[in-house]
Amino acid sequence: MMLSKTAVAIFNSAVKSVSAVEIIPQSIILKNDVLSIKSTSYSLKKYKRVLVVGAGKASAQMAVALESVIGKFIISGVVITKYGHSAVSKKIKILEAGHPVPDENTLKHSREVLEITESAGENDLVICLISGGGSSLFEVLPDAITLDQLQNLNTVLLKCGADISEINTLRKKISLVKGGGLLNSIFPAECLTLIISDVLGDKLQDIASGPTVFQEDALHNEHVLNIIQKYNLKHYLEPEVHVKLLSPTQKSAENSKHYKERVKNFIIANNQTALNSAYSKAVELGFDSSIVLSNFHGEARDVAKLIVMKIKDVTEKQNKKICLLFGGESTVNVKGNGKGGRNMELALAALISLQDFKKPFVFLSAGTDGNDGTTDAAGALISSSSLAVLKKTELDPQEYLNNNDSYRFFEQIGGLLKTGPTGTNVMDVIIFLSE
């Protein structure tokens, strides 16, 4: 098998391992009408109603997979996913909205979610399906904030180079459902949340901004102010938004002390799950494999330099078939007016650093959700052949990198990886193969 096809096969194996249809039947077990997850059990017959809500790029597939296991108990539900990521469910309504920037459907459909949760009583079970992208797809705003202001805040945050924890810290400050806010409408029903993690360290409060994660302490204004100052955001935000960001934050769920025991959050898949599957596939294909980094972060071009340095260090000492795996999520501080995404930008920066690499190689960097930035590509794949093609052109890769125009660069020399929506999201995977 050609190295490039092998890299794609390994990536596909990683994505499949974190798909809802694979992971939900493995994570939850239904036996004698009792639903078990890890050491927690729910006797579904004891509930008056089982309701399902959720948001994220994987929420549609999660809904379908959940329905296949406990469908006979589900009364109704609503989940929100990204445009083009929908699926067909019998009992759970699947709606689509804007991502990465919220739109009118975000607000409209989020109200439908609240209609379900606000109807829940003490004898009901609300199952929440949460995955990456939920921060954009699920939002209820206070009266002081408009959709235009929300969209501007999201656009500014996505372009400034802030990491997901910083972005979600500010998102929570202007939201009624983030940071545990959804629990205020679920109370007093019991709440079970199944989560596919797309954040480093699997911090529950950062995944889709933690709608069902108790936030007992207000977000400190000093922390919020530091983020605003770090990225010079004040000049880009409307006065009303700036005021709201620095105002006191409500605690989640007024009765949190007694309600906590009725709320459970479980992570059922993450980036490590995908890396482990990629590792197993590479070994199966005869590669000497290792997971080198499972938490890369930072500016994409800086991450590329670090990864290439590690690649060169390892390959200098080995002459056999090797597969090096990296997991995490980079950021891009957009200064140019080109078209691209963090994975394509990282691959382009890696190509520049690998121009003196002598052995046959393939380097794949892609998002497990199938989307890189706002493009139709999941990422990019570069190889020894890419270097040969580049030498025959007059293209300057550094010029494209400076303009954040990685998509158009790979459009010309080849290497765009297009998978379509995968129905899951556990950040990014980088695969390096050499022989």
Give me the architecture of the 19-140+175-216+251-269 domain, per CATH. Answer: 3-Layer(aba) Sandwich (3.40)
Average pLDDT value for residue range 368-397: 96
294 Cβ contact list (under 8 Å, min separation 6): 271, 272, 275, 326, 327, 328
Average pLDDT value for residue range 367-395: 96
Residue 61 is predicted with a pLDDT of: 98
Average pLDDT value for residue range 231-244: 90
Query: Where do the structural domains in the chain lie, given as residue ranges?
Result: 19-140+175-216+251-269, 272-434
What burial class does residue 25 get, using C-beta atoms within 10 Å of its C-beta: 0-12 exposed, 13-18 middle, 19+ buried? middle
The distance in angstroms from the start CA to the end CA of the chain is 12
Q: Could you give the strand order of the β-sheet that contains 124-131, starting from the edge strand earlier in sequence?
A: 92-97, 74-82, 49-55, 124-131, 190-196, 263-269
For domain 272-434, the question of CATH label 3.40.1480.10 is answered with yes
pLDDT tier at 197 (50, 70, 90 boundaries)? very high
Lowest mean pLDDT among 97-101, 183-187, 243-247: 243-247
Query: Is the whole model's pTM more than 0.85, yes or no?
Result: yes
Using the Cα atoms of residue 100, residue 106, residue 107 and residue 113 in order, give the sign of their dihedral: negative
Residue 219 is predicted with a pLDDT of: 62
Average pLDDT value for residue range 171-200: 96
Report residue 25 as tokens. 């039947």
CA distance 267 to 276: 16
Average pLDDT value for residue range 190-202: 97
pLDDT tier at 260 (50, 70, 90 boundaries)? confident
**What angle is formed at CA 141 by the lines to CA 192 and CA 211, rounded to 5 degrees?**
20
* Of residues 237 and 282, more confidently modeled: 282
pLDDT for 217 beyond 60: no
pLDDT digits (tens, 9 = 90+) for 108-153: 999 999 999 999 999 999 999 999 999 999 999 999 899 999 999 9
Average pLDDT value for residue range 324-334: 96
Cis peptide before 397 (omega within 30 of 0): no
pLDDT for 178 beyond 70: yes
Let me know: does 242 contact 225? Beta carbons within 8 Å: no
pLDDT for 165 beyond 90: no
Average pLDDT value for residue range 305-332: 94
* Residue linked to tokens 């019991």: 190
pLDDT for 10 beyond 70: yes
Residue 246 is predicted with a pLDDT of: 86
**What angle is formed at CA 165 by the lines to CA 164 and CA 168, rounded to 5 degrees?**
80
pLDDT for 255 beyond 70: no
* Residue linked to tokens 């920037």: 101
Residue 221 is predicted with a pLDDT of: 77
Residue 372 is predicted with a pLDDT of: 96
Using the Cα atoms of residue 302, residue 422, residue 204 and residue 340 in order, give the sign of their dihedral: positive
- Report the chain's mean pLDDT, rounded to a whole number: 94
pLDDT tier at 318 (50, 70, 90 boundaries)? confident
Average pLDDT value for residue range 256-266: 86
